[in-house]
Amino acid sequence: MPTGVSSNNSPGVAQPSFLAASERYRPLRSPGGKRRCVFRQYEEQIPYQQAWHWQKALVAESQGNDPPDWDTVLLLQHPAVYTLGAGSTTDHLHFDPESPPHPLHRTERGGEVTYHGPGQLVLYPIMNLKKHTPDMHWYLRSLEEVVIRALEGVSGLKGERIKGCTGVWVDNQKVAAIGIRAQRWVTYHGLALNVTTDLQPFQHIVPCGISSRGVTSIAQLLRDEGIPDQELMREYQFGLLDAFADVFDVVLTECEHQRS
């Protein structure tokens, strides 16, 4: 592995303090038989490795001796970072992987290289698909549907799928990337939606390994409307969570003890 690329075994990253679910979460009683999903929403930027460790710890908890009877979703932003999928090639990097312009991590998700950064909303569902539909293709299409519904519901934008690709496009430009992993049907990693993202860092890579199509953001698509960035971010935080609840037919419950 190139010295500039870190793996998921990096030391010194704290494990989340919210794993004692019986102590940390409100009692979960779902009306109408819908499955509960506890969500954690962060306004501050969360370092990529920290969120990565949170996800893996939640997956481990879901597979433990006393697993929770609910799902979890994290909604956050990262500082600038590039990530590689488990089998992705460094040929899609326009820089030396030993000296990247931003931190570079090889992960266990599917897909090729992508960029995360401020202004991009990242949704990480930790879901037991045995309680939904145990089918990874269904899950990928469902995540795409979350983005498509959020785009339509918040801004009236028409998000589209492209046959043979994963993600969501508007006007032939990619606005949302998706890369996932599952262990015994418990998912982690997820989707990234460019809301007010600076698109310049994408020029240093071939995003998701697709050179024939560009990358865009919602702010870029709506640039003539003069909507403040902060307003767009707030509206899409709500929009993504609402669409997620609708697509997966869950009841969202905010975590009682947000981690500082």
Active-site annotation, residues: 208
* 3-class SS shares of the chain: helix, strand, coil, % to 5: 30, 25, 40
Q: For residue 236, give every residue at least 6 positions away whose Cβ sits within 8 Å of its Cβ, in sequence order, or none.
A: 121, 150, 154, 193, 195, 218
Q: Helices 229-248 and 136-155: crossing angle, nearest 10°?
A: 140
Residues of 98-134 as b/e, b for ≥16 C-beta within 10 angstroms? Answer: eebebbbbbbbbbbbbbbbbebbbbbbbbbbbeebee
User: What's CA 31's distance to the chain center, in Å?
Assistant: 27
Q: Across the chain, which distance is largest between two alpha carbons, in Å?
A: 54
H helix intervals, the chain: 21-24, 48-62, 136-155, 218-221, 229-248
Provide the 3-class DSSP secondary structure of residue 20: coil
Identify the CA nearest to 150 among candidates 244, 217, 219.
244
Q: Is 237 exposed, middle or buried (0-12, 13-18, 19+ CB in 10 A)?
A: buried
Report yes or no: 81 and 51 within 8 Å, Cβ to Cβ: no
CA angle 177, 234, 128 (to 5 degrees): 50
